[in-house]
């Protein structure tokens, strides 16, 4: 029974560290959270009952895997995370926890002394390292993603569907947006008096956007007002925007006539990443935004062309 207690304690430990991250004791996009914590999750079952792991290769892999999956399920159910975090957080957590478990088994089979039971302070590493990481400025990286599509309609007709995007709720989405339940755009409204565009998404998310540039039939540029947006129903989106892990500089549409009744519509997103793990943040942000742009352009094409 003690060996299964290791799974429970591993899950509780991951939850406690996630709670500390939620309260800004450490950052989610940090070495302490995404690297050190999952390695400790893989360490805990060994610490409690190393004999059973030394006798079973299956437990060495299965126990940390179960621990991480249970933690992720609880995090999603409790609305700490969205489904997309099964991939973003799950990949390093599963890999590193299993890696630590295998590594321990390899070395302990050669060492009869086992794990020193006076290593409890090691479980404070995420807090200590997280506090140290917060004292240093995060790495910054500017990124630009652009996608385009040809629409069988005039510039005037395409333009009329950009400030106030028509209902897209019945359009089909593929890729990450579909499989990981990323909030999909539904429609947008525009108030000319305040120059504010409201973008409505699934789950009650509303992005408040200022129209920065409006060159009729040619270019439309927005900036997101984070403090005025409704983000509570998407924990991941709320976290990355409010913490400025991702800082959107501008979102723009560009129109080019390529025939009497044919228009090329380009969607551009300029943003900045603030992260201790910039390579990982860059990988996921580019993939998600690329996927989002392509799906949005395809939906606009479908609605405009009828």
Q: Describe the crossing of helices 37-48 and 2-22 by its angle, rounded to 10 degrees.
A: 160
17 three-state secondary structure: helix
Pairwise CA distance, residues 265 & 256, whole Å: 7
Pairing relation of β-strands 262-275 and 196-201?
unpaired
Q: What is the pLDDT of residue 203?
A: 81
Burial class (CB in 10 A: 0-12, 13-18, 19+), 58: exposed
Segment 151-166 shows an average pLDDT of 94
* pLDDT for 260: 81
For residue 228, the 8-state DSSP code is G
Average pLDDT over residues 43-66: 79
Write down the mean pLDDT value for the chain.
88
* pLDDT at res. 116: 59
Tokens at 137, concatenated: 């400025």
State phi, psi for 168 to the nearest 5 degrees.
-110, 10
* Rounded Cα–Cα distance for residues 189 and 70 (Å): 40
pTM: 0.85
* Res. 143 pLDDT band, cuts 50 70 90: very high
Mean pLDDT to the nearest integer, 131-153: 93
3-state secondary structure of 61: helix
Q: Which helix (H) or strand (E) holds 123?
A: none
- Return d(Cα 44, Cα 73) in angstroms, integer: 19
pLDDT at residue 15 above 60? yes
- Tell me what percent of the residues of the chain surpass a pLDDT of 70: 92
Mean pLDDT, residues 42-69 taken together: 81
Crossing angle of helices 37-48 and 57-77, rounded to 10°: 130
pLDDT digits (tens, 9 = 90+) for 226-279: 999 998 888 888 888 888 889 999 999 999 999 888 999 999 999 999 988 888
Report whether pLDDT(25) > 80: yes
pLDDT for 117: 62
Residues 68 and 99 sit within 8 Å (Cβ to Cβ): no
Q: What is the pLDDT of residue 113?
A: 58
* pLDDT tens digits, one per residue of 192-239: 999 999 999 988 899 999 999 999 999 999 999 999 999 888 888 888
Does the pLDDT at position 300 exceed 80?
yes
Q: For residue range 81-133, what is the model confidence (pLDDT) as tens digits? A: 888 888 899 999 999 999 998 888 877 766 655 555 667 788 999 999 999 99
User: CA torsion sign, 41 to 105 to 50 to 73?
Assistant: positive
Which pLDDT does position 238 carry in this prediction? 83
């Amino acid at each position: 029974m003690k060996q299964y207690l290791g799974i429970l304690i591993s899950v509780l430990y991951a939850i406690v560290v996630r709670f500390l991250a939620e309260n800004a004791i450490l950052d989610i996009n940090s070495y302490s959270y995404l690297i050190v914590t999952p390695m400790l999750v893989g360490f805990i079952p060994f610490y409690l009952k190393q004999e059973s792991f030394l006798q079973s290769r299956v437990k060495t892999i299965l126990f940390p895997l179960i621990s991480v999956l249970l933690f992720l399920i609880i995090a999603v159910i409790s609305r700490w995370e969205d489904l997309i975090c099964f991939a973003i957080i799950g990949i390093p957590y599963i890999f590193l926890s299993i890696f630590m478990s295998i590594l321990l088994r390899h070395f302990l089979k050669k060492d009869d002394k086992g794990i020193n039971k006076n290593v409890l302070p090691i479980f404070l590493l995420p807090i200590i390292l997280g506090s140290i990481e917060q004292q240093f400025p995060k790495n910054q990286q500017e990124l630009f993603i652009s996608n385009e599509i040809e629409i069988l309609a005039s510039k005037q007709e395409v333009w009329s569907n950009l400030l106030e995007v028509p209902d897209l709720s019945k359009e089909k989405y593929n890729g990450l947006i579909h499989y990981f339940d990323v909030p999909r755009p539904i429609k947008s409204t525009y108030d000319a008096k305040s120059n504010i565009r409201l973008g409505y998404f699934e789950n009650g998310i509303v992005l408040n956007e200022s129209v920065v540039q409006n060159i009729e039939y040619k270019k439309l540029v927005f900036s997101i007002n984070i403090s005025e947006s409704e983000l509570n129903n998407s924990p991941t989106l709320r976290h990355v925007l409010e913490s400025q892990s991702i800082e959107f500089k501008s979102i723009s549409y560009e129109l080019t006539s390529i025939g009497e009744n044919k228009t090329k519509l380009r969607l551009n997103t300029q943003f900045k990443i603030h992260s201790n793990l910039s390579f990982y943040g860059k990988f996921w942000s580019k993939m998600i935004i690329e996927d989002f742009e392509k799906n949005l352009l395809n939906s606009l094409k479908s609605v405009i062309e009828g």
